[in-house]
């Protein structure tokens, strides 16, 4: 790819699936600001109000380096021609049917999007291999693991939701393609990501809109659940840094490295490794909104785990940085967006 950044490094061509999604939007924006060429692919599905996706997309369409293609991962030929036409240097596969709870009610959409869709993308990449494939996995793959913090070399064979099972399967599929066709692949495992332009099915928007409108909030696990909350800007920073570190066979960076012995493939946690109790998050949200929540305490839900915490030493070894934004900074930034952009849209509660 021709063209240069201001700082002299080479501009690259990126293909980002799920570009109109929460993380996809933030990633595309950062890449475009840095002078890269980005092709965004998204199905604009109705899982949540598409107005939010259109709002994100409108922001990206202001950049001249951005091209948007609407399509579904299930459309194998569309993906094949898209990859052949754009010949991306780096592919970031974020598109997926998301959500732990939704997977209990609508299993089929996870099978078609996360399994069939990922296989279709891999076939397209086999014909036109990128320098690096980055696949969005999830901390949910650690399932019911008792050992905390979760490390990439721990076993992840006990998923407790279909969503987690499809993401684990995606990791396994990308591994086989990395082995067979030498496609350098990094699977990054997100922990609880939040921030502006977030998804309305996730706790921050559900909580913020309920508190703002005086509706009670459901707090599962008596508020004792602990999460490794990760601010979206930190996550995107880590993904972009990882994009520059494709796995190379035989080049382990530490004893904790999950690098495969038979493929240029590794999994990496992206999180700060700092536990936040759900009640602390809610209280920070209340303070930023200037309103108290009406709290409805409930037991744990099926498919949920009590605590997620990342061992972030591999990420640190690879890119020299880990997510640092504290909830005292991230939550007010989220609330600012919620008040200025989300609330005025008048979207129905999820």
Domain ranges of the chain: 13-192+229-272+310-324
Q: List the catalytic residue out of 48, 102, 142, 163.
A: 163
pLDDT in the model for residue 266: 98
Please check the confidence at residue 255 and state whether its pLDDT lies above 90. yes
pLDDT in the model for residue 52: 93
* Mean pLDDT of all residues in 53-74: 96
Please check the confidence at residue 94 and state whether its pLDDT lies above 90. yes
Share of the chain above pLDDT 90, in %: 80
Least confident interval from 7-16, 117-126, 127-136: 7-16
Share of the chain above pLDDT 70, in %: 97
Active site residue 194: no
Please check the confidence at residue 258 and state whether its pLDDT lies above 90. yes
Highest mean pLDDT pick, 101-110, 114-123, 196-205: 114-123
Residue scoring higher pLDDT (299 or 40): 40
Per-residue pLDDT tens digits for 263-291: 999 999 999 988 999 999 999 999 999 99
Please check the confidence at residue 8 and state whether its pLDDT lies above 80. no
Task: Please tell me the CATH code under which domain 13-192+229-272+310-324 is placed.
Answer: 3.40.50.720
| Three-state SS annotation for the chain | CCCECCCCCECCEEEEECCCCHHHHHHHHHHHHCCCEEEEEECCCCCCCHHHHHHHHHHHCCCCCEEEEECCCCCHHHHHHHHHHHCCCEEEECCCCCCHHHHHHCHHHHHHHHHHHHHHHHHHHHHCCCCEEEEEEEHHHHCCCCCCCECCCCCCCCCCCHHHHHHHHHHHHHHHHHHHHCCCEEEEEECCEECCCCCCCCHHHHHHHHHHHCCEEEEEHHHCCEECCEEHHHHHHHHHHHHCCCCCCCCCCCCCCCCCCCCCEEEEEECCCCCEEHHHHHHHHHHHHCCCCEEEEECCCCCCCCECCECCHHHHHHHCCCCCCCHHHHHHHHHHHHHHHHHHHCCCCC
Please check the confidence at residue 292 and state whether its pLDDT lies above 60. yes
Statement: the pTM of the whole predicted model exceeds 0.85: yes
pLDDT in the model for residue 9: 62
Per-residue pLDDT tens digits for 147-182: 889 999 999 998 988 999 999 999 999 999 999 999
The average confidence (pLDDT) of the chain is 93
pLDDT in the model for residue 320: 95
């Amino acid at each position: 790819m021709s063209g240069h950044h201001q700082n002299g490094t080479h501009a690259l061509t990126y293909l980002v699936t799920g570009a109109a999604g929460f993380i996809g939007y933030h990633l595309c924006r950062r890449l475009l600001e840095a002078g890269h060429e980005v092709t965004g692919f998204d199905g604009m599905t109705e899982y949540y109000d598409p107005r939010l996706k259109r709002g994100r997309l409108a922001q990206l369409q202001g950049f001249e380096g951005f091209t948007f293609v609407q399509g579904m991962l299930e459309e194998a030929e569309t993906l094949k021609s898209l990859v052949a036409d754009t010949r991306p240097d780096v592919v970031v596969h974020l598109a997926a049917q998301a959500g732990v709870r939704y997977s209990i009610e609508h299993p089929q959409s996870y099978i078609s999007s996360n399994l069939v869709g990922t296989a279709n993308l891999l076939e397209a990449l086999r014909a036109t291999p990128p320098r690096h494939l980055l696949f969005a996995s999830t901390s949910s793959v650690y399932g019911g693991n008792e050992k905390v913090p979760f490390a990439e070399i721990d076993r992840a064979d006990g998923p407790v939701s279909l969503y987690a099972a499809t993401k684990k399967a995606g990791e396994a599929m990308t591994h086989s393609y990395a082995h067979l066709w030498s496609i350098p692949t990094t699977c990054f495992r997100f922990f609880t990501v939040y921030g502006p332009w977030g998804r309305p099915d996730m706790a921050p928007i559900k909580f913020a809109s309920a508190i703002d409108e005086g509706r009670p909030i459901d707090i599962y696990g008596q508020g004792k659940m602990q999460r490794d909350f990760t601010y979206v800007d930190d996550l995107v920073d880590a993904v972009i840094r990882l994009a520059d570190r494709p796995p190379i066979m035989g080049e382990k960076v530490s004893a904790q490295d999950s690098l495969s012995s038979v493929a240029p493939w590794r999994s990496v946690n992206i999180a700060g490794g700092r536990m936040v109790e759900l009640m602390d998050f809610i209280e920070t949200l209340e303070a930023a909104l200037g309103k108290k929540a009406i709290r409805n305490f409930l037991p744990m839900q099926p498919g949920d785990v009590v605590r997620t915490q990342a061992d972030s030493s591999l990420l640190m070894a690879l890119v020299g940085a880990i997510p640092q934004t504290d909830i005292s900074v991230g939550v007010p930034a989220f609330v600012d967006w919620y008040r200025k952009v989300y609330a005025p849209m008048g979207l129905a509660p999820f």
